[in-house]
Copies of this chain bind each other. A is one copy, B any other.
């Protein structure tokens, strides 16, 4: 799984070999079984997570037991609860593995040290935070303004590679619509096509 991360850094950054080795040396490797948790409500988010293989989801559970998925992260993506991580306070979220997954973890003190010793990593991390901000804003706009049909079409367009990897109930939860509505939307689409 180190090879995947190294390839990712070479594609996405201009970090030197030395810097790449420094970043890798700070990571811990972990394999996750399907449905294994990396974070539960009340925990402190102590690590930055990079997904080398597999698929994680980031979600909240409301008082009535409903799961609300804010984010999916497949391979070559990062995941964490920024607020809990930055401030080392208890999270209100869960992170678990939708598929058997392989991840790299950096504890906050180690990653903070890397941000100082590898200035290019700091720039890259800022870009990732910006991109995540854009995505969340776009997702908020969709949640506020789109019909269920538009939400589903948007998901098919932006995340086609996830469609076959996710149970429909998780897609419905991510879109903020009921499974019944999602089934209706998919059925209507089939009839039209």
When distances are taken between beta carbons in the complex, the residues of chain B under 8 Å from A60 are 141, 145
Asked if residues B86 and A137 are in contact (CB atoms below 8 Å), the reply is: no
Asked if residues A176 and B144 are in contact (CB atoms below 8 Å), the reply is: yes
When distances are taken between beta carbons in the complex, the residues of chain B under 8 Å from A173 are 144
When distances are taken between beta carbons in the complex, the residues of chain B under 8 Å from A82 are 130, 133-134, 137
Q: Is A12 an interface residue (CB 8 A)?
A: no
Given known contacts A60-B145, A145-B176, is B133 in contact with A129 (CB within 8 Å)? Answer: yes
Total interface residues in chain A, CB < 8 Å: 24
When distances are taken between beta carbons in the complex, the residues of chain B under 8 Å from A48 are none
User: In the bound complex, what is the Cα–Cα distance between A70 and B68 (angstroms)?
Assistant: 20
**19 further interface pairs, Cβ-Cβ under 8 Å (given A70-B141, A83-B137, A129-B130):** A62-B145, A68-B141, A68-B144, A68-B145, A70-B144, A82-B134, A83-B133, A83-B134, A86-B130, A129-B129, A132-B133, A133-B136, A136-B136, A136-B137, A139-B140, A140-B143, A143-B143, A144-B176, A145-B176
